[in-house]
Chain A
Amino acid sequence: MSFLELNNVRKTFGQTDAVRAFNLQVERGEFVSFLGPSGCGKTTTLRMIAGFELPTSGAIVINGDDVTYKPPQKRNTGMVFQSYALFPNMTVGDNIGFGLKIAGEPKSAIQKRVDEMLAIIKMEKFGARYPYQLSGGQQQRVALARAIAIRPQVLLLDEPLSALDAKIRVSLRQEIRAIQQKLGITTIYVTHDQEEALSLSDRVVVMNDGRIEQVGTPFEIYNFPTTEFAAQFVGTLNTIQATVRDAARGALIVANQEITTSQKLDGLRNGDAHSIAIRPERVSFAADGKKPNVLNVRIENITFLGSIVRVQVSAGENIFYMDTFNNPFLSLPKIGDHAEVTFSKEAVLVLKNK
């Protein structure tokens, strides 16, 4: 049995299905991210684990205990909110010690734990300050310390970095991951930021329209997306319309040119139209060395994105992108030129539509 289980969890608001038949098993100490666009049900699912929302049906089990209908204060889950939610009338120390005080721990033990937490978040000298005297990043670190001070069974983070600026977001997410690994807390992290989810998590749950699209390691999610939504949402992806030429061989036709894929074309027959996907960084100019698949294309546009140059090309009616690393000696064709681009069989992803 897994440490945290969501079994067939469903949540409706009136006529709207916010979360549909959600099944997930999380192991002890695992860091799992819920990734998806606004309104996909990720926060609702997190709130059901915390106890702030009751599932319409299904069960939530933490460490063998069915907590589905337990009130939030009896679940021993630590929650970190996007808006920090520090108590403005209390000092940093009092905020961190709040949960321990409620649990009836002796003063000396509370002080010891507060000092430990302040050391973990590297804010030893801030214990006597009030939340309004701290920056956003510092407030969120205190909120994290407050949530883990009670030694929760599960740590829940609801888009904790969304309100912070880009630089602090990166440093704080590394800090969150380091603290999580050090303490070994089972963690659920909600975000719509793919970079955050991919860089932090042991596993990522990609969600859309209240459903799980795909569950996998960041590597699997990025490199082997199984649905068009997962592929489109995580990273940049070219979706190309192809026709199956020989399903047994994995051969497809794109703009009257044959390409092959290493993936199985299960359930498809010769002549079927189907979507395939290729990541822009998997495509390169054939002049740099040919791979099994080669397409004749026309250069439509070239955009400099700093370290990367994004080239828009067309093959028949398909328009797609290829990324190449920028360097001062890079020689690129001109817009309107014809060129050959190449990619491996493994780069051609065959998407299944849910």
Chain B
Amino acid sequence: MKKFPIWSWLMILLGFTYFLLPLIGTLDFSLRILKDQLSLDAYVNVLNAVRFQNTFTYSFTMALWTIVACTLLVAPTAYWVHLKLPHLRPVIEFITLLTFVVPAILLVFGLIRIYSRPPLSLMESEIGSDFLLVMGYVSLALPYMYRAVDNGLRAIDVRTLTEAAQSLGAGWRIILFSVIFPNLRAALLSGAFLTFATVIGEFTIATFLARPAFGPYMANLGQTRPYESTALTIISLALTWASIGMIQLLGRGAQGQLVGTR
């Protein structure tokens, strides 16, 4: 007879208690804006607040720009490194990991110091400040996007596919847009959702660049409206989980296509 795996279940229980209990507590708190009854009023208040709508729309837009900029920077770079400079792969990986070593506060002060005075006084205009914010976000998202794309490139035989396309008469533009990028669809979307989850609630860079973003709004709300603030936390978590769910879903779809092609 198989022994009951008591230790395994104990670890699961411990993990559940540590990770999920605080979430359940937060969810419960967000539903108790009215005395002695559960209600969604905190959520309704949050979703109806004009500042929520404005800041969320702003952060959403910035996240989209970040995804575009990050994709245009990372995908061709990672492809070229795989194809022509494989010996530089550890160097590129190190550069992308610098984000984890340099705190966001240092990054934003560096950005402000360099770009708030001539010759590139970017912070004097709204567009300039938004541009700086997106560039800061690109730095934050770099490790996630690079890893996603790098994994995608490892799953396909980049060199042979490139050579096969070349022998059929394709130039670099066609190779990238017709052969390589379509086969990196799942990896690029994974990177995009990870980027989105990282930047949508970002606080430090947006605060110090004085941008009307979702992260600072959440922090501000937490100091004055505790129930709405916890509701916002749950909404933010749901968005992150939805992003991760999408990554899983798309990753599963792409796996089948790559079987037998490596």
Contact = CB atoms under 8 A, between A and B. Distances in A.
Interface stretch (A20-28, A80-88, A283-291, A311-319): A80-88
A153 to B, nearest CB: 12
Interface in A71-102: 71-79, 81, 83-89, 98-99, 102
Interface stretch (B1-9, B108-116, B162-170): B162-170
Interface of A: 50-52, 71-79, 81, 83-89, 98-99, 102-103, 130-132, 134, 136, 139, 143, 146-147, 150, 156
B163 A132 contact: no
B35 to A, nearest CB: 58
A132 B257 contact: yes
Given A71-B166, A98-B168, A85 B160 contact: yes
Contacts of B161: 85, 87
Nearest to A132: B259
B257 A89 contact: yes
Size band of the B side of the interface?
A: 20 to 34
Contact of B167 (A79, A84, A131): A79
Contacts of B224: none
Interface string B248-261: 00000000111111
B226 interface: no
Interface string B141-164: 000000000000000110011011
B262 A130 contact: no
B262 A83 contact: yes
Contacts of A102: 168-170, 174
A143 B166 CA distance: 14
Of the candidates A51, A72, A89, A136, the one having the most CB atoms from chain B within 10 angstroms of its own CB is: A89
Contact of A146 (B163, B168, B174): B168
Given A102-B170, A103-B169, A150-B169, A79 B164 contact: yes
Nearest to A102: B169
Contacts of B229: none
Contact of B261 (A50, A73, A132): A132
21 contacts: A50-B163, A71-B166, A73-B167, A81-B160, A81-B163, A85-B161, A85-B163, A86-B261, A87-B164, A87-B179, A89-B179, A98-B170, A102-B170, A102-B174, A103-B169, A131-B260, A132-B256, A139-B260, A139-B261, A143-B164, A156-B167
B171 interface: yes
B257 A130 contact: yes
Of the candidates B163, B168, B262, the one having the most CB atoms from chain A within 10 angstroms of its own CB is: B168
B183 interface: yes
Contact of A77 (B167, B178, B179, B257): B167
Contacts of B76: none
A88 B156 contact: yes
Contacts of B256: 132
B252 to A, nearest CB: 14
Contacts of B259: 132
